[in-house]
Chain A
């Protein structure tokens, strides 16, 4: 009897039942260094047979080794609105994320369909953030000195040539 009722509901309200959204990430593994900006992009597809309402995509970062994550530090806009998708339609959504801590993280996107109870979650991106690679001032100093010095010699030579030719 219950089975019959369920079949009846599916036949009468197919739209409700088939509006499913799938979220995929462009990569499964990213490695970076502290401070580096990473562009995370994902594709949201309506795999159901009826249109969705407006969608909300949210990015989340979770630490795998107990490092404290303050999402606001990682990205200024973790939540983005997406347009409604027709059946089979898909849209791209991307986030600029700055890796503010060293460690191992999982980055994933969640899509909240409008008015539906179920969330769609992407597979996570495995993110490894290496410790900060500090710029070497020692390496920059010779260049910072040599280039103006060479150009200074050129200026001197040109001026000297002008003075000596009368």
Chain B
């Protein structure tokens, strides 16, 4: 290879590297936008039994906070009206209307959860509570048996003289470490829990509330979901309610979980739903309704475009004034795909020139890969099969009807458009087309592909045609896998200068004059025999 070529390749790689390094190191912009982590789709489903009366059915709604961000919500009340009211116990949704036949109604919400640390004061002022805290200090409906058991335990763990903060920690350690967690045991009262020294999260939370209040620390139970993969009850993401506590320390509610052992820290798996309510039935308030919680993690992490845009605005550099992130969102989504095409071309070049696979038309595999990516793999295959079938039709037009070229091509073009209509109508049902898939669909290239397929079938026989088909599918599959790597997509979209490196790689492939892998097979006789 000539020196000039090497220099060009080197220059292209260098330009890419320098540009990216300048942006990240000198301008201080993130390499790629931060990933929005820990998104969950929460579904609160209510199975409602029929009744002729108009009724109100309540349910808890996640309350936004600095560690719980609502990304969107939707609901389907099957004709019932929805109101959401703000209560001290949390947000309460209320369905109102008639349910003459059994229905399941939904409230869905997408939330982002973050972990939060809380400050714990080193000292608690005595009796600093105002009147509204009184509710969180009173202990009611404890039976004699419960009271005896509680007093016995207090003697054991808090012999006396400790300040309230120390006492609170002793209570926490006792319930977390010595009262075993057993999610299947639902003891009815505190005495039973203390006799067996085990309980579920509700029982442990109840015990904590009582013990804390008895020490003069305002406390309440929190009901919600703990979104741990291992806590999933089934494949559909059904979760049971879990309970933990909050204590009022230095004018702030501080979370405590005596089940999984968190003091003054709430992990990003805790989704609180209601406060100071022991029984979810009190919220639902309808004995003919069963409530069910489903939670599924949103797997495909979205990159936070908004925050990245703020970052590059702040950097104030001409280099970033032309960032693709300033395009309108819908145009961005088209370019996110378009900018991958050159990478598909690299894969294609590798397979054609270094492996030696045959393909149909030069860019058909890349086009197909886009289709696999945009729809589903099987839908893409269905599309491809239709194209192949039309290819057989083309052969018929060619050899049997003997039509002239332009009308014949036009018939194929018409068929392509017609099939596109069929797919579009189907897609309204199954929702595979995104709005810009159609824009990426080159009708003319497809038409010419079909034409070449028909001719190849006629002239080179089905064997060669099948090889080319296989090569096309193999390359398309691999390309679509590469395309689906989100991080690659984001890096390229954030730094379009990587396309210069793509050109450099293509120059290197273009200068490759070594053998192709398939030539080992092709020339095997030459290797095996002596002349």
Bound pair (A, B):
no
Residues of A within 8 A of B (CB): none
